[in-house]
Structure 1
Amino acid sequence: MENELHYLELSELSQLIRTGKVSPVDVTRAQLARIETLDGKLNSYAHVAAEQALAQARQAEAELARGEYRSPLHGVPIAVKDLFWTQDMPTTAGTTIYRGFVPPEDATVVRRLKDAGAVILGKLRMTEGAFAIHHPDLPAPVNPWGAAHWAGASSSGSGVATAAGLCYAALGTDTGGSIRFPCAANGLTGLKPTWGRVSRHGVFELAASLDHVGPMARSARDVLYMLCAIAGHDPKDPTSLPGACLEIPRIDETFKGLRVGVDESWLSDGVDPAIQQGLQQIMAFVREGGGVLQSVRMPDTRAVSTNWEQHCGVQAAIAHEATYPSRAAEYGPALSRLIDGGRELSGLAYQRILLAAQRFTGAVDALLNQVDLVLAPVQPYAAPTYEQLADLALDPEANRRLIQFTSPFNVSGHPCLSLPYGCTQQGLPLGVQFIAKKGAEAVLCRAGMAVQRVSDWHKQHPPGI
């Protein structure tokens, strides 16, 4: 069973469960056995909740037997980043400070997943505090496509577990690219929703105005199923947008009638030829699927990507006031540096950053009144080695270039969908993204489904796993 099931898409497994062809208990047992076999080398899980998961699976099985169907997630084993409060298991946010902390309640998104009938396998490893680097005293997840290569920023455990068949989807967060980077590095599909579309109540902050909660999965349809379970207004999060949880829309899986903006210079400047080739293939899919490619000029992203670390650092300093600097010795060097930089920035300098962010946001809003989507890479090259990543940390301009296609849309709050589109000659996955106007997640998922209807890139898996 395990060999037949573990790489199914969530939507495929959901149908098997609903029709009684697969038992939630059996598939959960298979997932737990696979985690026990493989995760000692992959380090994707911070905590495995075997007993709770099996209890949830038994409950789902009994409910389905009575004809009580909750949602497409009913009985499906998933996992959540260790940033989300879970009242029945620890939540550490990738730190040592919160080791052993068991929250008093579930994060709103975790509660909504449980209400949808999902089986929560456990908590997934992440970088310290959701910034760039893992705490030096904690294991880092290993990219199943190549152990020497980056697994993709803070939601790395979510990416590794989903790519390796250790869960059918995962929750991640994205403050500067941390859903999209691990999706690109691990060959997955991921959605950074509109800021406020998904509640952040019960989610450890990195930078409140930049943090986005979203799903990571194997297909655009799976991402849509996850989004519909977690999205919607939450009275406990005053920044969440009004409106109820989303209904799963009927989607025309083509580009018919969609206008896709392309800025050729933005897509080619400093971008590896392999990624440019993939973007051209996506453009061909748009044309063949009835869409229109429209030449646009992307607003300059240099200022917001250059400013991103300071923008994040000021807000991270606020988020960590209770423990930093009073417990600074327990922090790793990367998060310490971020917070120190935020604490040292003047109010005048921060106001300039905010004004630049407002100008950029307005310019992107105006652009997305002309087109339905904008096409972009996730990053200008495939997942770097850890040696290359260490060099990036010492070069501000190289680091800016890494985040130039992701962080600007955390600043502006626009939704983005990351898709896999093949591999390098060395066998490393590559990623592309679509950007849409605020609230247009259904359009993004439609574009993703249109690509995945005519390609099989999302069905490729790490060799030998």
Structure 2
Amino acid sequence: MIDHSEVAYLELTEVSELIRARQFTSREVTEAILARMDALDPTLQSYVHPMPDVALAAADAADDDLAHGRHKGPLHGVPIGVKDLCYTTDAPTGSGGTMHAEYRSLYDATVVTRLRRAGAVITGKLRMTEGAYTNHHPALPVPVNPWHSDTWSGVSSSGSGVATAAGLCFGSLGSDTGGSIRLPSSANGVTGVMPTWGRVSRYGVVELAGSMDHIGPMCRSAKDCAAMLGVIAGSDHNDPTSSTQPVPDYLHGLTRTTRPRLGIDRSLLSSFDETTRQMLRNVLEVVRDLGWQLLDVDTPDLPGIAADFAALCAAEAATAHADTYPSRADEYGQSLRDALDSGRSMTATDLVRLQTNRRAFTGRLGRVFEGIDLLLMPAVGFASPTVETLETLGTNADLLAALLTPTAPFDMAGVPTVTLPGGFTDRGTPLGFQFVARPFEEQLMLQAAHAFQQVTAFHRSHPQPVTNARLEGVAQ
């Protein structure tokens, strides 16, 4: 068996080519990742349900396909993790809670079906916050940031961010309702894509707020995200909200030369902390050298719509949980319980106001994009927060709105974003930023992200060694 340190930090597309060239078999790579999970995940706690037998069977099937000349694409034989709100027939789907911890679906989520058909090896189900809201269930472990255990690992796709960053899979599925792909991508130093709402089917995915839930990839690079997005995107007759627009070949379109017009709202960016502002200044230097046109823009009221997001999310979540809340309220954690109570108390007038604000914001954002191709934003409201800083996240409305100012507005509008590593704090933890695009402009967005990563190395930095003594050497 190959040593897991040989392959752990390869990019998805790199290991895919090695498997295709038969330099490694899928079984060898999968055994290496499973061994790494056994060694590291008792500390990192990124997986809630490891699936070693399922993974090895899929790896053997992938090797057999290659032996008979059947290659299924860039995910063929590659170990991938799945967030624990995607239904799987061969493992429970607990959605970050205890109530349905042993629930086993009779069918796979569409995104899981598409991964399997593409030859991906599912390594297991990844931990997440309760119901994909702000906090982990108090009775369950919290994934540990592999860069430093005192640093926040993000919400709600925390396990996806940790596992991808620590070399416990080559890519993962996350979901994003208010920032849940982008926050853990930034916190753990990986690349994440929130596609246009409807670009990826939500069939078989547990809802938080259906009109804002997005499913997308979290990987080591924009190239890897392009490979995964090309597999999971597309219309699905089981999800009537999925788009029928054709899916581009994101992966092969990456190398096309692009010099997008990049918009910057300097008045908004000035409201972020100095660490975040310095990262963004560094990003601007890189893209200026790439020949991109930089344009000043005035964005709509992002803090205001971020505050509206929390209220609307609570209302939609209350609908999603109507069968079990409040009838089984004692099985919920406090943060999600408070949100559901808030949503249930909302009046029709409140909802109309929120929806009216949302439509107006979306229209104003669309007008900003009439003069630009991409918008530059940080990925988190403040730089690399600690676990202690965000202890009250689920119950502090002001703190939540400040954190989500750069993320939640784009869920409200349903537009795509890509989050990239863009620097480090003084304590060596990752910082991330976003390129935001028009609806269904994922191709341009990924081209820009790939171009940035061709001339920078942030995405190739990994948590080795971990700076906290309790994790010393864990992710080496």
Asked whether the two chains share a fold, i.e. TM above 0.5, the reply is yes
Asked whether 1:355 is paired with 2:353, we answer no
Q: Could you tell me which amino acid in structure 1 is paired with residue 66 of structure 2?
A: L
Task: Look up the match of 2:391.
Answer: 390
| Residue correspondence of structure 1 range 92-103 to structure 2 within 5 A | 92-103=94-105
TM-score normalised by length of structure 1: 0.98
CA 1:128/1:393 → structure 2, altered by over 3 Å: closer, same or farther?
Answer: closer
Asked whether 1:131 is paired with 2:133, we answer yes
Deviations along 1:272-316, one digit per CA (max 9) or x if unpaired, are 222212211221222211210011111111221111111001100
Deviation at 1:255, TM superposition (A): 6.8
Q: Could you tell me which amino acid in structure 2 is paired with residue 20 of structure 1?
A: R
Deviations along 1:7-41, one digit per CA (max 9) or x if unpaired, are 00001111111111111000000000100010000
Unaligned runs of 5+ in 2: 466-474
Task: Look up the match of 1:286.
Answer: 287
Deviations along 1:108-137, one digit per CA (max 9) or x if unpaired, are 000000000000000000000000000011
CA–CA separation in structure 2 for the residues paired with 1:107 and 1:349: 33
Task: Look up the match of 1:50.
Answer: 52
CA–CA separation in structure 2 for the residues paired with 1:293 and 1:263: 11
CA 1:327/1:392 → structure 2, altered by over 3 Å: closer, same or farther?
Answer: closer
State the SS of the aligned residue for 1:387.
coil
Q: Could you tell me which amino acid in structure 2 is paired with residue 390 of structure 1?
A: E
Asked whether 1:415 is paired with 2:416, we answer yes
| Residue correspondence of structure 1 range 102-181 to structure 2 within 5 A | 102-181=104-183
| Residue correspondence of structure 1 range 25-424 to structure 2 within 5 A | 25-251=27-253, 253=255, 256-269=258-271, 271-393=272-394, 395-424=396-425
User: 1:78–1:118: 8 Å Cα contact kept in structure 2?
Assistant: yes
Q: Could you tell me which amino acid in structure 1 is paired with residue 215 of structure 2?
A: V
Asked whether 1:434 is paired with 2:446, we answer no
CA RMSD after TM alignment: 1.2
Aligned length: 464
Q: Could you tell me which amino acid in structure 1 is paired with residue 79 of structure 2?
A: P
Task: Look up the match of 2:461.
Answer: 460
User: 1:232–1:246: 8 Å Cα contact kept in structure 2?
Assistant: no
CA–CA separation in structure 2 for the residues paired with 1:273 and 1:267: 10
State the SS of the aligned residue for 1:388.
coil
CA–CA separation in structure 1 for the residues paired with 2:85 and 2:254: 35
Deviation at 1:248, TM superposition (A): 3.5
CA–CA separation in structure 1 for the residues paired with 2:331 and 2:396: 26
CA–CA separation in structure 1 for the residues paired with 2:186 and 2:433: 7
Deviation at 1:399, TM superposition (A): 2.2
Unaligned runs of 5+ in 1: none
Deviations along 1:354-376, one digit per CA (max 9) or x if unpaired, are 00000000111111121100001
CA–CA separation in structure 2 for the residues paired with 1:211 and 1:243: 19
CA 1:252/1:96 → structure 2, altered by over 3 Å: closer, same or farther?
Answer: closer
CA–CA separation in structure 2 for the residues paired with 1:255 and 1:131: 39
Deviates more, 1:255-264 or 1:155-164: 255-264
Deviations along 1:250-276, one digit per CA (max 9) or x if unpaired, are 33548743100111111121x122221
User: 1:176–1:410: 8 Å Cα contact kept in structure 2?
Assistant: yes
CA–CA separation in structure 1 for the residues paired with 2:248 and 2:447: 15
TM-score normalised by length of structure 2: 0.95
CA–CA separation in structure 1 for the residues paired with 2:128 and 2:80: 16
Q: Could you tell me which amino acid in structure 1 is paired with residue 54 of structure 2?
A: Q
State the SS of the aligned residue for 2:216.
strand
Deviation at 1:382, TM superposition (A): 2.3
User: 2:300–2:364: 8 Å Cα contact kept in structure 1?
Assistant: yes
Percent identity between matched residues is: 46
